[in-house]
Amino acid sequence: MPELTRHRTNAPLETWIIRYVDVGTIAQQDWDPHPERSGIWKWSCGFYSLHRDERFRGQALDFENARVGFDAAWKVFLPRRTDAEFEASRRQKQWTANKYALWDAGYRNKLGRGPIRCACGAMFNPGIHEETMAHIEHITGRPAGT
């Protein structure tokens, strides 16, 4: 089974992102309207944009039990996935990052209306992933994939 990695975010409450693509989170919650449930750890396992009906979720009283729940869900989730699905998830995540980068660069009202002019002078279609990847650095000043 592939090794999962995790890292803590800078969220106000302790939150861990699970990496193998982005397949889930484990986070402490404090926003629950029921005081008896504040401080509960919630976890989710699955692709955000693909197979939403196959996302696993749960909660626990502490991080270690949330991690056990996540690990059990991961062992069910992973064998059902193909390499193509992981690649599709990576592409979707990159597309979303590119979209927001283009919005931040002032192209928000131009997306979805055909080709746009890159800072390098070339025209490209932001709806085509490969074309966007070729020009995103010119527009945002950041390398593609960051």
pLDDT (tens digit per residue) in 78-119: 888 888 888 888 888 888 888 888 888 777 766 667 788 888
The predicted pLDDT at position 58 comes to: 93
The answer to whether residues 41 and 25 touch, using CB atoms and an 8 Å cutoff, is no
pLDDT (tens digit per residue) in 18-67: 666 677 888 887 666 666 666 788 888 888 666 666 788 999 988 899 99
Res 144 pLDDT > 70: no
pLDDT (tens digit per residue) in 2-14: 566 666 666 666 7
CA distances from 24 to 10, 49, 55, 59 (A): 16, 12, 9, 13
Tokens of 13: 């409450």
Tokens of 1: 């089974």
Angle at 59 between CA 32 and CA 86, to 5 degrees: 110
The predicted pLDDT at position 65 comes to: 94
The predicted pLDDT at position 137 comes to: 84
On average, the pLDDT of the chain sits at 78
